């Protein structure tokens, strides 16, 4: 009789109880995995957006530096700009620098054509022209032009511009896609550049 009671007291879990425990453990594991995976994905997304914004800021400063040191403007439209400028700080002569967007407005390029001497004496050397990708994944905001041209009072010049010598400043509007914090959003930078070294006798 005592042996029978001892065996009864050692009875284990039923199959149903084990199944319930396993299901609950599986639910908890899946929930934890989903939270971890989502958090990790958000972290990498934020890190990528941060890297892209850092690159955007660096490129905007690069473009601003080139335009700030430009000596003359050859042509100027909303999404296309050609100037004479020192593309590299150690250049002996200016180059013809052409900023433009591709056909789908998703990439910003710069064509740099060196010159034999500074204008008006120097001539272009087309064989040495180089094309640089300024922004690989450009995002143009609706209704926002890449370049906005300003007069000597800081007011926006109406397009088209008949006389490039009236341009005293340039606003540069750059943007790249971003998914954080808003999906399908963007990160943008706008800079105003004063044309300090511009000459009017070229």
The secondary structure element, H or E, covering residue 191 is: strand 185-194
The pTM of the full predicted model, rounded to 2 decimals, is 0.73
Residue 199 lies in a domain: no
In the block, tokens 């929930």 appear at: 31
- Closest by Cα among 139, 148, 137 to 80: 148
Residue 18 lies in a domain: no
Of 7 and 41, more confident: 41
Residue 20 lies in a domain: no
Domain count, the chain: 1
Residue 4 lies in a domain: no
Residues 6+ positions from 130 with CB-CB distance below 8 Å: 111, 112
For 84-90, the CB contacts below 8 A with 24+ separation are 84/115, 84/118, 84/119, 84/202, 87/112
pLDDT surpassing 60 at residue 167: yes
pLDDT at 65: 92
How far is it, in rounded angstroms, from Cα 84 to Cα 69?
9
Residues 6+ positions from 50 with CB-CB distance below 8 Å: none
Question: What's the pLDDT tens digit per position in 102-138?
Answer: 999 999 999 999 999 999 999 999 999 999 999 998 9
User: How many residues are listed for the chain in this entry?
Assistant: 202
- Closest by Cα among 90, 87, 89, 77 to 147: 77
Residue 74 lies in a domain: yes
Residue 12 lies in a domain: no
How far is it, in rounded angstroms, from Cα 83 to Cα 100?
12
Domain range for residue 154?
Answer: 30-194
Residue 19 lies in a domain: no
pLDDT at 200: 43
Relative to beta strand 147-150, strand 130-135 is unpaired
Residue 7 lies in a domain: no
pLDDT at 124: 97
Question: What's the pLDDT tens digit per position in 38-84?
Answer: 665 665 555 555 566 688 888 989 999 999 989 999 999 999 999 99
Residue 182 structure tokens: 């808003």
């Amino acid at each position: 009789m005592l042996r029978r009671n001892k065996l009864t007291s050692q009875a284990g879990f039923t199959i149903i109880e084990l199944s319930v425990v396993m299901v609950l453990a599986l639910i908890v594991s899946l929930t934890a995995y989903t939270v971890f995976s989502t958090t990790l994905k958000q972290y990498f997304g934020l890190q990528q957006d941060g890297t892209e914004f850092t690159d955007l800021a660096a490129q905007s400063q690069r473009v601003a530096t080139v335009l700030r040191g430009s000596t003359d403007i050859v042509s100027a439209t909303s999404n296309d700009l050609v100037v004479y400028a020192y593309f590299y700080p150690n250049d002996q002569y200016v180059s013809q620098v052409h900023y433009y967007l591709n056909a789908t407005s998703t990439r910003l390029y710069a064509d740099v054509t060196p010159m034999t001497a500074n204008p008006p004496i120097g001539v272009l050397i087309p064989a040495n022209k180089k094309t640089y990708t300024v922004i690989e994944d450009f995002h143009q905001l609706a209704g926002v032009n890449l370049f906005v041209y300003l007069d000597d009072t800081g007011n926006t010049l109406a397009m088209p511009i008949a006389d490039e010598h009236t341009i005293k400043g340039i606003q540069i509007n750059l943007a790249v896609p971003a998914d954080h914090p808003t999906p399908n959003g963007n990160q943008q930078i706008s800079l105003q550049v004063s044309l300090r070294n511009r000459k009017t006798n070229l």
